[in-house]
Amino acid sequence: MSDESLGLQHSRAWRLWLVCGLLVLIAVAIITKLVLLYTYDREFLQTQGDKRTIRTMQVPAHRGVITDRNGEALAVSAPVAAVWVNPQNIDITDPKLKILAKLLGKKSNAVLRKIKQNYKKEFIYLKRQVLPDLAKKVIALQIKGVNVDREYKRYYPAGEVTTHLVGFTGIDGAGQEGIELAYEQALLGVPGKKLVMKDRLGNVIKHIKLLESAESGQDVTLSIDLRLQYLAYKELKSAVKSHRADSASVVVLDIKTGEVLAMVNQPSYNPNDRSVLTGEQLRNRALTDVFEPGSTVKPFTITAALMSGKYDRESVVDTTPGYMLVKGKRIKDFRNYGKLSITRIITKSSNVGVTKLALSLEPDRMHDLFSNVGIGQTPSTGFPGERSGVLPYYSDRQVIERAVMSYGYGLSVTPIQLAQAYAVLANQGVKIPVSLLKIDSPPRGVRVIPAEIANDVVTMMETTTQADKGGTGRKAAIFGYRVAGKTGTARKAKRGGYDLDKYISVFAGITPASNPRIAVVVMVNNPKGQQYSGGGVAAPIFSRVTAGALRMLNISPDQWPKTKPSTNPKLQNSPVAVQHGQ
């Protein structure tokens, strides 16, 4: 072997030993480091790991705002906090837990017991919807295992005035009643996600990055005018108290658009404090409670008769002697009115007159017209629990049933259905869908009554509120405006018949009669004062609510007084002068 080959061989051997030596040193270094990590540095590293943990957190979505038609807030979300604990990561001997319990308004024993009972869980709430200032005090305690997360609480600025329509959300922010429930998906929004670093106590110490942005819920604009809502609520609440009624409802409807401008009920409740809430208070009676409408359906019986071609507005019906027998049942009027024109039948609210008209028609005439104006049909507003009422079909042989239906018994309606029906007459026979939401342009309607007949019936209904005509709804009159309407007084149904001492008092009307803009229905359930009739109980409420609505909506008067106003300053400023021109 040459010297050159031998030198090359030695060089390769030296390099190999060098590489092997380096690998051994690296291995020794790694092993040494591992030993150190598992012995000397283990506690330190564990502590540092506990102090810093990367987590993905949910970013709450802001629930949409509910407003009235003018942008006034009816439901808004305010930021609050939720205090929760991890029972597996908390020291129940920590003395600061007593301070925490006091801050949250709870007994310390109750808090400790709750933690102990849920020791297998990793998450339990101590208190939800905590105010931000209180949440800061909880965080400042620095109690291991106690955490604070952000959430939202729903607040209702108008309180009990709008609660039956707006509804409310539960503690988790989901809609429970009303519009909050009906439009849950639109209002809800989509939560986002973010990456954060938390310390060993669960507190966020660093926001790393936003993974997904939260999408706020859609705002919902209702059709109601909060000014009208307050007015109607105040008048209804006062009337229910003075008449000691069980319940009541008022609906104000825009005739041209079908929008609900006001919808109030009694009894009501405060949605911001539901600690004493009962089932009776919850219902939106204007949409869910049905009643027999009594004489308020007589204009539609008259309409059906006119549409049959057998009668016109000058036709005369003999109601002598003030009563009649139908299959052995006595149907009577307040007194013997003798011969009445079609107009006077409405003016005097003659049961005998409408019964004779109804029985002279084919069985389906009256039924079909009632159905076409919305009676017995779901209003389709989208409100949870809205009712369709009851509209039976009676054959030719069911004479007594057809007779009593002509003056409002044997069928049932909701206040909103009755308001829609009257809006059809006011809109020259065109039916417009009812809407609880503000609409930009009036929807297309469907004609269900000839315009000439609808206008004639409205003119007839004006006599109901005219004192010189002896109408039953004189107390519904509004100074400066022509009012067309009808009173209704129906006995309350009970098992086996009707209660002779309990009544439903109703007034339904439209104004200004020359160019109708609003339809208003007032229903009072079981008034217990001296007055119980629709003309004595519901009509005055109609007058006060509608007079205020006309002013607020800036609707011009269509009937100026023929006599000069009183010069007496006291009378000029009194409510009597405003209502009756004294």
The verdict on 269 and 386 lying in the same domain is yes
User: Which range scores top for mean pLDDT: 46-50, 121-125, 151-155?
Assistant: 151-155
pLDDT at position 533 is: 94
**36 within a domain of the structure (yes/no):** no
Nearest one of 490, 512, 213 to 349, comparing CA atoms: 490
3-state SS record for 264-320: EEECCCCCCCCCCCCHHHHCCHHHHCCECCHHHHHHHHHHHHHHCCCCCCCCEEECC
Residue 351 near residue 333 (C-beta atoms within 8 A): yes
- Length of the chain as a residue count: 582
The bridge status of strand 247-254 relative to strand 204-212 is unpaired
Whether residue 165 is predicted with pLDDT greater than 90 in this model: the reply is yes
Report the CATH number at residue 66: 3.90.1310.10
pLDDT at position 11 is: 63
Whether residue 172 is predicted with pLDDT greater than 70 in this model: the reply is yes
φ and ψ at 248, to 5 degrees? -165, 160
The verdict on 201 and 237 lying in the same domain is no
State pLDDT tens for residues 64-97. Answer: 999 999 999 999 988 888 888 888 888 888 888 8
The bridge status of strand 168-169 relative to strand 146-155 is unpaired
State pLDDT tens for residues 392-433. Answer: 999 888 999 999 999 999 999 999 999 999 999 999 999 999
Pick from 141-155, 167-181, 245-259, 480-494: least confident: 141-155
Give the single-character DSSP code of 200.
T
The verdict on 202 and 350 lying in the same domain is no
Greater pLDDT, 24 or 325? 325
pTM, entire model = 0.82
pLDDT at position 490 is: 94
Enclosing domain of residue 444: 226-580
The verdict on 262 and 113 lying in the same domain is no
Report the SS3 class of residue 441: coil
State pLDDT tens for residues 380-392. Answer: 999 999 999 999 9
Token pair for 69: 């038609």
Distance CA 258, CA 389 (A): 19
Domain final residue pick, 200, 221, 242 = 221
**330 within a domain of the structure (yes/no):** yes
Distance CA 206, CA 204 (A): 6
The verdict on 163 and 284 lying in the same domain is no
pLDDT at position 325 is: 93
pLDDT at position 294 is: 95
565 confidence band (pLDDT: 50, 70, 90):
very low
Pick from 24-28, 168-172, 239-243, 322-326: least confident: 24-28
State the chain's mean pLDDT as an integer.
87
pLDDT at position 56 is: 77
Domain final residue pick, 192, 221, 250 = 221
Report the SS3 class of residue 476: helix
Whether residue 570 is predicted with pLDDT greater than 60 in this model: the reply is no
pLDDT at position 109 is: 86
Catalytic position from the list 77, 268, 295, 349 = 295
Whether residue 235 is predicted with pLDDT greater than 60 in this model: the reply is yes
The verdict on 329 and 275 lying in the same domain is yes
The verdict on 293 and 417 lying in the same domain is yes
Residue 400 near residue 329 (C-beta atoms within 8 A): yes
Q: Mean per-residue pLDDT for 469-492?
A: 94
The verdict on 355 and 207 lying in the same domain is no
Number of folded domains that form the chain: 2
pLDDT at position 575 is: 37
Catalytic annotation present for 295: yes
pLDDT above 90: percentage of residues in the chain:
59
Q: How far is C-alpha 381 from the chain's CA centre?
A: 11
Distance CA 300, CA 357 (A): 11
Domain final residue pick, 221, 256, 279 = 221
State pLDDT tens for residues 1-56. Answer: 555 565 556 666 677 777 787 888 888 878 877 776 666 566 665 655 555 577 77
Whether residue 437 is predicted with pLDDT greater than 80 in this model: the reply is yes
**465 within a domain of the structure (yes/no):** yes
**322 within a domain of the structure (yes/no):** yes
The verdict on 287 and 423 lying in the same domain is yes
**187 within a domain of the structure (yes/no):** yes
Alpha-carbon torsion (420, 422, 423, 428), positive or negative: positive
Pick from 237-246, 547-556, 571-580: least confident: 571-580
Report the CATH number at residue 256: 3.40.710.10
The verdict on 209 and 232 lying in the same domain is no
pLDDT at position 43 is: 65
**37 within a domain of the structure (yes/no):** no
The verdict on 200 and 329 lying in the same domain is no
Q: Mean per-residue pLDDT for 305-329?
A: 93
The verdict on 340 and 245 lying in the same domain is yes
